[in-house]
Structure 1
Amino acid sequence: MERLRQKAQTMGIELNDSQLAKFEQYYEMLIEKNKVMNLTAITEKQDVIDKHFADSLAFIKTGIALDGKKLLDLGTGAGFPGIPLKIAFPELEVVLLDSLNKRVRFLNEVIDALGLEKITAIHGRAEDFAKQKEYREGFDLVVSRAVANLAVLSEYCIPYVAKDGYFCPYKSGDVKEELQGAKKAVHILGGEIKDIISFEIPDTDMSRTILMIKKEKATPKKYPRKAGLPSKEPIH
């Protein structure tokens, strides 16, 4: 995990031995569970450090302070970026949301084994929880590494963001066209694209973009629409 310590340092994040031990344990649990269920196609330790752990921590490039914030990781899968961010920033309050119960069970095993506090993993669909009062517009930050078109992802994520909070999706490759196609949706949902942060992940063939979408006004009550509609008929 010395590799991770150095990568984190280049981003201005100091990880202590206890935090690195948690990353080590997380890696081991991920690889073990991956033998019986599909959590990740990336399994080489060096690749997991670069393409999952360091990539998750690259959120810091947004310049948004994380301590004391409330963050939702939507479509978290195996826990990225939510769990690495929680390990690195213990004061961050995290909710992990995923639609597959098997994955949520794994996430809860990780949370228990690592002794993480102020973090919960919940099973459900984005469009259902977004209608619940305790979740709707209840988060300072919403992140997602889920592979979905930005217009669709915005409809699922922006309703959770509190006014003046941020939705920060992790995207790969060139996002110009996708961004253009999502501008109207972002605006209708109450957001505004404030910044586009693009970078290479060192020692990989991956380029990454993190978008900073600020919540300027409340999302109209009709969004998100019922299951399936956002992807079938994206807002544009």
Structure 2
Amino acid sequence: MGVELTDAAQVKLVDYLSLFAKWNKAYNLSAIRDPEQMLTKHLLDSLSIVNILAKLPGNRYIDVGTGGGLPGIPLSIVFPDKHFTLLDSAGKKMRFLFQVKQALQLENVQVENRRVESFNPETGYDGVLSRAFASLSDMVEATHHLLNSEGRFMAMKGVFPTDELSVLAKHYIVETCHSLDVPGLEGERHMVLIRQEKIQ
């Protein structure tokens, strides 16, 4: 994948996966039960956007509908200098994320247990991340209030979302679409970057 990780980051990523597998039995964080599949479908999938994120300006991101912390937790481990807010309305999953934040000492993570429409941050984010959160139209309409003027929507998708892109409102501009390579994962993965057109 061409991703370079420090030894400390590798240890934390493995510790996170271990906690995920342990808590999943009681909290139903994911339908995937096999740790090896978790490694591929959760951890490596989340890390597949590291090199894209590294090239973008800004250091404040919000992971909307984060669930068990994907992709927010793995990204926060790889980028300790960037801040990640993890947003989800499911209380059980938030309790797990509080535990992860404490156990792994992730000072750059903020956990918010609320619905996206009721979260109004004082400062807009540089990026709104989503992984299987909703259709692109639903995502941008539900989260546009979270971005700053230069911010981007960053949607992780499976197959290239041709139909979803065709029905986006005209003031949303597709900046780029990256094909993602996830070792061991069958099927396509993409990251779509979208910006809001600036009103003159």
TM-score when scaled to structure 2? 0.91
Distance, in Å, in 2 between the alignment partners of 1:192 and 1:122 is 28
Q: Aligned residue for 2:85?
A: 95
Q: Aligned residue for 1:134?
A: 122
For the aligned residues, what is the CA RMSD? 1.9
Q: Which amino acid aligns with 2:27?
A: M
2:149 to 163, 166, 169: 163
Q: Would you say the 8 A contact 1:97–1:124 is kept in 2? A: yes
Q: CA 1:133–1:36 in 2, change beyond 3 Å: closer, same or farther?
A: closer
Task: Considering Cα pairs closer than 8 Å and 6+ residues apart, tell me whether 1 or 2 has the greater RCO.
Answer: 2
Q: Would you say the 8 A contact 1:19–1:87 is kept in 2? A: yes
Q: Are 2:130 and 1:148 aligned?
A: no
2:185 alignment partner, SS class: coil
Q: CA 1:110–1:63 in 2, change beyond 3 Å: closer, same or farther?
A: closer
Distance, in Å, in 2 between the alignment partners of 1:164 and 1:99 is 27
Within 5 Å, give how 1:10-49 maps onto structure 2.
Answer: 10-11=1-2, 13-49=3-39
Q: Would you say the 8 A contact 1:66–1:92 is kept in 2? A: no
Q: Provide Cα deviations, 1:119-143, integer angstroms capped at 9, x if missing partner.
A: 11111010111xx2515xx101110
1:60 positional shift: 3.0
Q: Aligned residue for 2:173?
A: 192
2:184 to 199, 203, 225: 203
Share of identical aligned residues, percent?
Answer: 35
Q: How many residues align?
A: 199
1:174 alignment partner, SS class: coil
Distance, in Å, in 2 between the alignment partners of 1:193 and 1:75 is 21
1:68 positional shift: 6.0
Q: Provide Cα deviations, 1:5-48, integer angstroms capped at 9, x if missing partner.
A: xxxxx33x221221111111111111111111210122323322
Q: Would you say the 8 A contact 1:142–1:161 is kept in 2? A: yes
Distance, in Å, in 1 between the alignment partners of 2:10 and 2:194 is 31
Q: Are 2:106 and 1:125 aligned?
A: no
TM-score when scaled to structure 1? 0.78
- Can you give the 5+ residue segments of structure 2 that lack an aligned partner in the other structure? none
Q: Provide Cα deviations, 1:150-203, integer angstroms capped at 9, x if missing partner.
A: 11111112221111111101111231011112x21x62xxx3111111234222
Q: Would you say the 8 A contact 2:49–2:180 is kept in 1? A: no
Distance, in Å, in 2 between the alignment partners of 1:114 and 1:66 is 26
Q: Which amino acid aligns with 2:5?
A: L
Greater radius of gyration (CA): 1
Q: Aligned residue for 2:100?
A: 110
